[in-house]
Chain A
Amino acid sequence: KQEVTQIPAALSVPEGENLVLNCSFTDSAIYNLQWFRQDPGKGLTSLLLIQSSQREQTSGRLNASLDKSSGRSTLYIAASQPGDSATYLCAVRPADSSYKLIFGSGTRLLVRP
């Protein structure tokens, strides 16, 4: 059974710091992995999607990497800003599923001014 874990559960950093959020999954047979951002009381916003054949994806100050064989993904945020404060969730789509996403519990990020 696929399980997704995100560590740490919460992170507080000063503004301007580069940071890495971690996501691990137990079954390497995935179709893709997606990173989301969730602001308090709001829905999820898709940030990056990495297909199983890809190693990384970049969007602005965000870079997501995928090491499928070791069951790990990281989300790198460069030059963090207070506006980056949110909960970040990763989700994997199993290779044998055409519809399901399995989510981690998220990392709650606070960027202090």
Chain B
Amino acid sequence: SQTIHQWPATLVQPVGSPLSLECTVEGTSNPNLYWYRQAAGRGLQLLFYSVGIGQISSEVPQNLSASRPQDRQFILSSKKLLLSDSGFYLCALRQPSGNTIYFGEGSWLTVV
């Protein structure tokens, strides 16, 4: 079965600093990969999704970017963090032939 690894699990960064959150998956090939953000008291917001290496679609205009350098690696980045970037970031996957979405354990980002 597939597994999703996210790191770091927790991160405190100053405003204006760069960001890199990494997601790697195991047990599947050519998955659809997703980055979601969950802000306090709010639902999950889809940020990016990817159907293959180098293929990234953005859902909302924002301070963040995503990259997929390898089939099982999905990276969320920012050049300069804003206070509003604080939140819980979740990586998720869907297997090409499946319907169920599976989530990683998430990364907590606090921008101070």
Contacts and interface: CB of A to CB of B under 8 A. Distances in A.
**Physical interaction between A and B:** yes
* Interface of A (DSSP majority class): strand
A51 to B, nearest CB: 7
Contact of A42 (B4, B41, B43, B106): B106
Contacts of B108: 41
Contact of A46 (B49, B102, B104): B102
Nearest to A31: B99
Contacts of A42: 105-106
A46 B99 contact: no
Interface in B8-61: 32, 34, 41-44, 46, 49, 51, 57, 59
Contacts of A103: 43-44
Contacts, number: 53
B7 interface: no
Contact of A34 (B41, B100, B104, B106): B100
Of the four ranges (under 10, 10 to 19, 20 to 34, 35 or more), the interface on chain B belongs to: 20 to 34
Of the four ranges (under 10, 10 to 19, 20 to 34, 35 or more), the interface on chain A belongs to: 20 to 34
Given A89-B43, A99-B32, A105-B42, A44 B103 contact: yes
A105 B103 contact: no
A106 B4 CA distance: 23
B107 to A, nearest CB: 10
A32 B99 contact: yes
* Interface of B (DSSP majority class): strand
B43 A104 contact: yes
B101 interface: yes
Nearest to B92: A44
Contact of B101 (A41, A46, A51): A46
A69 B106 CA distance: 34
B46 A49 contact: no
A45 interface: yes
Interface of A: 4, 31-32, 34, 36, 41-46, 49, 51, 89, 91, 93, 99-101, 103-106
Question: Which 3 A-B pairs have CB atoms at the shortest separation, nearest pair first?
Answer: A44-B103, A43-B103, A103-B44
